[in-house]
Amino acid sequence: MASLTFSLCLLLATALAVCAEQERFDGFQLLFVYSRNLDDVKFLHQIGEDYVDIDFWREATPENNATIMVPPTLLNVFKYKLDQQGISYTIMVNDVQKIVEAGSARTPDEEVARKRELTGAKVDHYNYHTYNQIVNYLNELKNAYPARIQLSNLNYITYEGRIVYLVKMTGSAGSNKPAIIVETGIHAREWITPATSLWVMEKLARDYNANDANARMMLDKYDWYFIPVTNPDGYDHTHSTNRMWRKNKRYISARCTGIDLNRNFDAMWGTTGISTNCASDIYPGTGPFSEPETANIRDLFESIYSNVVAYLSVHSYSQFLLVPWGYTEYVSRPANAAELDRVTLKMLQTLIATHGTQYYHGTAWQLLNYAASGAAEDWALTRKAGLYGMCYELRPRYDDPRGFILPANEIIGTAEEFYASIVVMAAEMRV
Ligand SMILES: *[C@@H]1O[C@H](CO)[C@@H](O)[C@H](O)[C@H]1NC(C)=O
Ligand SMILES: [Zn+2]
């Protein structure tokens, strides 16, 4: 993306300096761009195809604002084209680098130590972590709660050779319990989602052992399958090189790297909400399940097919609780829509009530006039009728200029409201 880079050197305790070239976002602007109608949407979509370095944080949809990050080299041409088309915009952020820096501020060690001592937490929930650090924490959680947590590897390693870990959580023994899959971190830059997963897993294990009624209900009634970092190559890349990376890291050609994993599932694959340009952030790959990361989820799902009752695909940002179908360019609902809405609307209430965070509920088309094919929860519900399939877009709200760069001091609040909603889900589902 950017040609400007700088050396980020992390001094380790061993005084070894590890330096990586980090993309910078100096002078990148974040624009709020209003589409009056479908013509404007098509116009913006074409710009996205022609200039892959223009990053659509949120897609253009009719009578709505797209959130678009533009590098300084393309600002003039982009604004000129908007003016020509008569499209209006406002500048949300003048210098994205400042947002990135504010969002990567670390909570001081002493403060983290003090807070962890208060709560007895194994995991530092006051900072975001690298993939390797998350793997360390998963092992610590497993060691601390061996009866609650089983840690294993999914079938396929990634393009760059990383392992995708699966965390199975359970309470009382017993086979054939209904199962719930919680997938986070499929989009690399959505850091709040693996962080939420870590907090929720630790909360469940600790509360269960402390005889908390909610945790007991959740783990005794169900087996939970967490995939905390579904896309470890992409996630690692957001730490080492480019904070704004979304896709996996499959090499395609000199100008193209990465598949959008949440367009790669077998749900009307390759139809809506995609680009056939391999450099695009919404390139769906060459066919359904072409990628190890999505094939991992398919194989897990098939291996527990008769038990699985719910599939949660967790993303950021916008504060949405999305229900299927997501792939159609009109409102179309699955056969179990009434039951799905009964439960998810109760979940919505608690998402809002926990901290007063305004979440919104609906299909992607209802909320956004946007459809996207090949998404995980659509596939899960296609594969198994009656399933509780849903997609979260966590904090911040859709019009918040921080977008993917949510400061770490919002991890716990975000995770608490998410947790409250899955307590309701576990209590309400009819299985
Ligand atoms: C789009 O953004 C403009 C400028 O910030 C705002 O006035 C308008 O209300 C927004 N429209 C929608 C539909 O969000
Ligand atoms: Zn996402």
Question: pLDDT tens per residue, the chain (431 residues)?
Answer: 443 443 344 443 333 334 458 999 999 999 999 999 999 999 999 999 999 999 999 999 999 999 999 999 999 999 999 999 999 999 999 999 999 999 988 999 999 999 999 989 999 999 999 999 999 999 999 999 999 999 999 999 999 999 999 999 999 877 789 999 999 999 999 999 999 999 999 999 999 999 999 999 999 999 999 999 999 999 999 999 999 999 999 999 999 999 999 999 999 999 999 999 999 999 999 999 999 999 999 999 999 999 999 999 999 999 999 999 999 988 999 999 999 999 999 999 999 999 999 999 999 999 988 899 999 999 999 999 999 999 999 999 999 999 999 999 999 999 999 999 999 999 999 99
List C-alpha distances in Å: 428 to 34, 68, 310, 353, 417.
39, 39, 12, 17, 17
- Alpha carbon nearest to ligand 1 atom 4, residue: 90
Rg (CA), the chain: 21
Ligand 1 pocket residue status of 37, Cβ below 6 Å:
no
User: Which numbered atom of ligand 1 lies nearest the CA of 64?
Assistant: 13
Q: Which amino acid would we find at residue 305?
A: Y
What end-to-end distance do the CA atoms of the chain give, in Å? 47
Note the pLDDT of residue 13.
Answer: 36
- Alpha carbon nearest to ligand 1 atom 12, residue: 64
- Alpha carbon nearest to ligand 1 atom 10, residue: 65
Check: CB of residue 93 under 8 Å from CB of residue 99.
yes
- Give the residue, out of 31, 32, 36, with the most ligand 1 atoms within 8 A of its beta carbon, to mutate for a pocket test: 32
Note the pLDDT of residue 347.
Answer: 98
Residue by residue, what is the 3-state secondary structure of 100-161? HHHHCCCCCHHHHHHHHHHHCCCCCCCCCCCHHHHHHHHHHHHHHCCCCEEEEECCCCCCCC
Note the pLDDT of residue 20.
Answer: 56
- Alpha carbon nearest to ligand 1 atom 13, residue: 64
Ligand 1 pocket residue status of 34, Cβ below 6 Å:
yes
What is the 122 CA–ligand 2 centroid distance (Å)? 27
What is the 63 CA–ligand 1 centroid distance (Å)? 9
What is the 260 CA–ligand 1 centroid distance (Å)? 28
Ligand 1 pocket residue status of 401, Cβ below 6 Å:
no
User: Which numbered atom of ligand 1 lies nearest the CA of 399?
Assistant: 14
Query: How far apart (Å, rounded) are the C-alpha atoms in residues 7 and 212?
Result: 47
Query: How far apart (Å, rounded) are the C-alpha atoms in residues 240 and 404?
Result: 16
What is the 370 CA–ligand 2 centroid distance (Å)? 14
Beta bridge partners of 19: 9
What is the 34 CA–ligand 1 centroid distance (Å)? 7
Query: How far apart (Å, rounded) are the C-alpha atoms in residues 92 and 73?
Result: 18
Ligand nearest to the CA of 246: 2
Check: CB of residue 79 under 8 Å from CB of residue 17.
no
pTM for the predicted model, two decimal places: 0.94
Ligand nearest to the CA of 60: 1
Tally of CB atoms within 10 A around 272: 17
Note the pLDDT of residue 8.
Answer: 40
Angle (deg, nearest 10), helices 337-355 and 411-428? 140
Ligand nearest to the CA of 91: 1
Dihedral Cα 133, 139, 145, 147, nearest 10 deg: 150
Ligand 1 pocket residue status of 90, Cβ below 6 Å:
yes
Tally of CB atoms within 10 A around 163: 15
Residue 317 token pair: 């940002």
DSSP reduced 3-state for 359? coil
What is the 371 CA–ligand 1 centroid distance (Å)? 21
Active-site positions? Answer: 393
Q: Which amino acid would we find at residue 246?
A: R
What is the 32 CA–ligand 1 centroid distance (Å)? 8
Ligand 1 pocket residue status of 64, Cβ below 6 Å:
yes
How distant is the alpha carbon of residue 163 from its chain centre? 18
List C-alpha distances in Å: 367 to 30, 123, 178, 280.
22, 35, 31, 24
Note the pLDDT of residue 81.
Answer: 97
Query: How far apart (Å, rounded) are the C-alpha atoms in residues 327 and 162?
Result: 30
User: Which numbered atom of ligand 1 lies nearest the CA of 92?
Assistant: 5
Instruction: Name the residues around ion ligand 2, CB cutoff 5 A.
Output: 187, 315
Ligand 1 pocket residue status of 32, Cβ below 6 Å:
yes
- Give the residue, out of 31, 34, 87, with the most ligand 1 atoms within 8 A of its beta carbon, to mutate for a pocket test: 34
